[in-house]
Chain A
Amino acid sequence: MLPLDLDMTLLTKKLNKADQPAVHVLVIGVSHYPYLQDGGRKLMTPDVGLGQLASPIASTAVFCRWLQKELRPRGLPVGSIEVLCSPGAYFEDFAGNEVKVSTPTLANVRKAVGDWSKRGDQHEDSFMLMYFCGHGVSSGLVNSLLLEDFGKDANDPFDTGAIDADGLMDGVRSKKAKSQLFLIDACRTVSHTTFAQFGEKRGASIISGAPHAQLGIVEQACLWATSLGSFAYGVKDQPSVFMTALLHAMRGGGALQDPDDGAWVIQPDILKRAIDHLIQRIPQFASSGLQYTQLDGLSKGLAVHLLDGDPSVPVKVQCVPGERIGVTKFICSSGDKRDVGPEGPWHLDLPYDQYTFEAFSDDGGKTINKPASPPYSIVSFRY
């Protein structure tokens, strides 16, 4: 099936003034790779051992819904949300009409990135946010993000179907917007062979370089879904592990309190720690080292999202040694409780406050007073 090549789609209404500061978002989700395994087109040779992905469509869709309905930028309107995604997800615009978005080919991505960066270049107080979900390959310092037409030109797949992630971020840094955040939800498995087979190319930088004066002015950070050399995990037809944890952390685990007015804002440093904790809630990931995020660049001044009220904090209640957990009943002063039985830690989300936790077992009762504070809190009953 040929991908549809429509104009990329904005999900937002145009701003009254194009040059006013605003948040501009670009979302790219690549599930379908026609030239990789099971893609339906001629498999590229040599085969790089990659196939279709299950999570990007769902991750892109749920993130767009969150952006449209819940994102509250600090002091800025949402200026634009632009989407490129493999077919299969439902998107609606600001008026509630269903829209068909463009597919993430290199040509469409070039145009989308060009328009997105042009909007970000209108005002220094704007915030540029980008999310990518799809295949990624790495070697050393080089990180390439694969697009839908990767492999169409089997002689030069990287320059014709991949993004040089660092080159892209470099180019965007030259734009006026002082706040820039990239969320890259892709594997970072080291695959030097993949690069070596095709002339060790990085991929397209997308934005042409030119001298600028933005180093030291722009605060740019990149939150990778996983650390170098590791996989980023997805769930079939569900949002990825990273996206699920990201949206959960946006409720409060990733929040930092602004000293100027006491407001809670989601900030990348704290967001990263909350996401890592939330991923560990998944039993298969607990203490396995399978997926930990990585935050690069300057992020201290980035305010991603303003909370409406106090943060909701992930809390983990456990016993040490862990074997006792199955025979212990827990009660929290919030009114939450868990009876004897479950073998794993007790996970709950509590509003930011001080709490009293009690544990009851055959050995008697214990009490711990502990605050629930971002990025997360851990309550350990020791025996």
Chain B
Amino acid sequence: MTSVYFSVSPSENSRPGLAVGEVWQAFARSRFVKKSFTIPIENNRPTSPVELEPGQYWVQVKLSDGRILKELVTVPTDAQANFTLGSISEEFVTPLSSALPSVKFSTPAELALAEREELDAAIARFRIPAELPALPPPEGRRKRGFDAAPAVAQSYEPFASVPRSSTIRMSRAMLDFSSRLLGSDTTSLLTTDFRLSRLHGRFDIWSMRAGRAGLSPAPKVRPEEYFNQFLRTEYRVPTNATTGGDRIFIDLENVAFPIEKATSIINDDHATYRDFVLLEEQHGISYTLVSIPRNLREDPARITVKDNDPSSDLSLKVSIEFKDPLSNSLLQFLRNGDVSSAMTMIESSQSILYAKFDHPVAAAAAAYVLIHAAPDTLKTPWQEWIGNLGRYFEEIPDAQILHATLLLQRGDPARWENSAGHNSESYFPTNESGRTHLAASLILSAVEKGPPIFRMGLSLMASNLRILKHAELPAEQKQSLASVESLVTWLSMRVDPIEPFSIFRLER
């Protein structure tokens, strides 16, 4: 037997992460063995050895960016052999709509000192005031029964790189400035100017409230008002933006929430697990609304912005990725719709879901993979972990959507018992009626937390709503669900169907 090590040379187009590989005997005419392995894509770091008999083998590796590497190798009669894999084809690779180059994932602290000094000098030149008032919401979008948005800047947790006092309005002059800051070749970096706004707030979707004497609330979600609460804006200069090729990278370092007890999070009216970033084209007719996950520990996320293909409906192409390579690989497989390959990371997905307190948003991504697992194949009580995710991180709508999916579309939670031998009736009622009612409540609760962080959540919402449409439920609840179904269709028509995170195009 020969110990064979496989590696992949990271090209400028590969991101750190995991690739999934298979090796099998070439030109076999009868039974043979396929061996699977994973390869870390990181500086020629090899796999653990695969033990093979000498002979010819096919090796196929699928990268998280969708590329396939396939080669015929001859394993020698040595104790050890090393193979570094190339491409299946020198030229023909199925193009990805927005393959991103790998740029070192920098933090503001890593910006060159010279760039920092230039930034300070530029700020001084433009004499930007310390604070400017936030923009009022656009005319005609005030919601009845709610206060108008205040005209003063909102206080919020600042980005780590930008001091609290430097809330800055991103004017056109600033855009020109920031382009010059990034380099003279970046003035035409994007044909669409954009400004970056940070938004926060709560979703309060029902157009009427209970309390009017003699009337019960008429729940009605008006999709076009769904994001209105979020048009109280503050603007930021992307001072930690870097360039790579034809695109701009904006690193976001989020400040950790202090976690003493989970209940303190739930009771905090302004506790959300994400920010919304609004990209507004200066001369365009639409906004791009990006939902940025905010994690419980400092774990930077990055937004990448570039001009989109001219034939596209969207002027700007926006992507988000985590710094963690494992979570990122999972996202990239999901991004390509490659659920089959994402399933090869099912072991990792369990670990990511289990570590929900470290990274609840990544845990939700892992749960999207796990719900496709065949019944009774995994030893962990992952269904309970999804229930816990929804319980302790109520503000993440994806968790409740996933929980509802378990109730409506899988049979195994009803048979599950936890390690203590108790069926978790509160999570998974044993009768269909109980599961249906709980699922309906979860869906209605989820929609009040905002759109799902991941676009797969919209597909699952739509799928669950189709099932609930014909369920035995109270009339008022059915009315609410019908209203939510319209909202979900409205959101589904506006979401970027490729990026795993929810990115919406909204009309002005």
Contacts and interface: CB of A to CB of B under 8 A. Distances in A.
Interface of A: 138-142, 166-167, 170-171, 190, 192, 195, 200-202, 205, 208-217, 227-229, 257, 259-262, 269, 273, 276-277, 280, 287, 289, 292, 294-300, 316, 320, 353-354, 371, 373, 376, 378, 380
B30 A262 contact: yes
Nearest to B372: A216
A227 B94 CA distance: 11
A211 B495 contact: no
Instruction: Please name the 9 residue pairs, one residue from A and one from B, whose CB atoms are nearest each other, closest first.
Output: A213-B411, A209-B466, A209-B467, A215-B409, A139-B493, A141-B492, A296-B337, A300-B340, A140-B493
A202 B410 contact: no
Contacts of A269: 340
B33 interface: yes
B372 A140 contact: no
A211 B436 contact: yes
Contacts of B489: 142, 200-202
B72 A299 contact: no
12 contacts: A208-B470, A209-B468, A216-B374, A217-B375, A229-B309, A262-B28, A292-B94, A292-B95, A297-B339, A298-B340, A353-B27, A378-B88
Q: Is the interface of B mostly helix, strand, loop or mixed?
A: loop
A140 to B, nearest CB: 4
B426 interface: no
Contact of A228 (B91, B458, B498): B498
Contacts of A217: 374-375
A216 B340 contact: no
A372 to B, nearest CB: 11
A138 B495 CA distance: 12
A277 B372 CA distance: 30
A216 B412 contact: yes
Interface in B432-481: 432, 435-436, 455, 458-459, 462-463, 466-471
B337 A294 contact: yes
A228 B496 CA distance: 10
B492 A140 contact: yes
Contact of A380 (B33, B90, B408, B468): B90
A140 B31 contact: no
B68 A261 contact: no
A287 B94 CA distance: 10
B91 A298 contact: no
A215 B340 contact: no
Given A215-B410, A373-B58, A192 B493 contact: yes
B29 to A, nearest CB: 5
Contacts, number: 152
B311 interface: yes
A255 B72 CA distance: 17
B132 interface: no
Nearest to B469: A209
Contacts of A297: 337, 339-340
A262 B30 CA distance: 4
B497 interface: yes
A287 B343 CA distance: 31
Among A214, A215, A289, chain B packs the most CB atoms within 10 A around the CB of: A215
Contact of B497 (A167, A216, A228, A257): A228
Interface string B28-60: 111111100000000000000000000000100
A257 B28 contact: yes
B186 to A, nearest CB: 26
Given A140-B492, A259-B33, A298-B340, 17 more contacts: A139-B493, A141-B462, A166-B462, A171-B466, A190-B313, A208-B469, A211-B407, A213-B409, A215-B410, A216-B373, A273-B94, A296-B339, A298-B339, A316-B92, A320-B90, A378-B90, A378-B91
B24 interface: yes
B371 interface: yes
B337 A295 contact: yes
A167 B311 CA distance: 27
Nearest to B492: A141
Among A139, A205, A260, A320, chain B packs the most CB atoms within 10 A around the CB of: A139
A280 B468 CA distance: 44
A136 to B, nearest CB: 14
Given A142-B492, A292-B95, A211 B408 contact: yes
B92 A277 contact: yes
B13 interface: no
B311 A229 contact: yes
B494 interface: yes
Contacts of B165: none
B339 A212 contact: no
Contacts of B494: 139-140, 192
A277 B408 CA distance: 40
A241 B432 CA distance: 47
Nearest to B24: A259
A378 B94 contact: no
A260 B31 contact: yes
B155 interface: no
Nearest to A322: B91
A186 to B, nearest CB: 15
Interface in B138-160: none
B471 A170 contact: no
Nearest to B97: A227
B455 A141 contact: yes
Given A217-B375, A298-B343, A261 B30 contact: yes
A356 B375 CA distance: 48
Nearest to A380: B90
A212 B467 CA distance: 9
A295 B33 CA distance: 26
B210 interface: no
B26 A371 contact: yes
Contact of B463 (A170, A213, A300): A170
Contacts of A170: 462-463, 466
Among A141, A166, A190, A353, chain B packs the most CB atoms within 10 A around the CB of: A141
Nearest to B70: A373
Interface in B319-347: 337-340, 343
Interface in B347-394: 371-375
B89 interface: yes
A254 to B, nearest CB: 14
Contacts of B491: 140
B267 interface: no
B254 interface: no
A216 B375 contact: yes
Contact of A215 (B31, B32, B338, B405): B405
B493 A195 contact: yes
B337 A192 contact: no
Interface in B389-441: 405, 407-412, 432, 435-436
A215 B372 contact: yes
A273 B68 contact: yes
B312 interface: yes
Contacts of B432: 211
Contacts of B257: none
Nearest to B89: A378
B105 interface: no
B410 A289 contact: no
